[in-house]
Amino acid sequence: MSRAASASLALVLALAVFLVDQGFKRLIEGSMRLGESTPLIPQVLRLTHTRNEGGAFGILGGQSGVLLLGSAVAVAFVLWILLKATPTRATTSGCGLILGGAAGNLLDRLSAGEVTDFLDLEFWPLQQWPVFNAADVAIVLGAAILLLDSFRSEKASRRSAEGDRQDQEPSADGG
């Protein structure tokens, strides 16, 4: 896959994630009162309308400048990966998911100063897990894809280097 095709696909995926995230947030905001909660999958997942002025899991609450700067750095880093790394499906998918999720939460922060969250896990051991949103899911999945791909790439590079060393070793018959 060419670098241009990879970047285009990542941006299309990012746009899709952004639109899905924003659509769900507007649906929740328009149909549920703040603090309202309803089971989606009984004893597994609830829809709970909350607002979060912090980052993931509520960290850095009230630190909007730090969060905006962190978001900008993260987006720049992901764009750098997308433009510099060898284009693969994993790189394209991971970067697209992260960019779309980051854009969804960034729009909330810029427009409202906080993020709408609505996914609430309620099964053990995650009963006390913070409420999150579709953008958060995309960011975590994208980061996991990039991380797993980097391990796979590193392992392949080591195998290739070991193969090159074996090719360069003299054979037992002196050749």
Judge contact between 133 and 118, C-beta under 8 A.
yes
Give the C-alpha separation, 79 to 43, whole Å.
Answer: 39
User: How far apart, in whole angstroms, are the C-alpha atoms of residue 21 and residue 117?
Assistant: 10
Helix (H, G, I), strand (E, B) or coil at 44: coil
In whole angstroms, give the CA distance from residue 105 to residue 8: 21
Q: Which residues are catalytic?
A: 117, 136
Buried b / exposed e along 105-143 (16+ C-beta atoms within 10 A):
bbbbbeeeebbbbbbbbbeeeeeeebbbbbbbbbbebbb
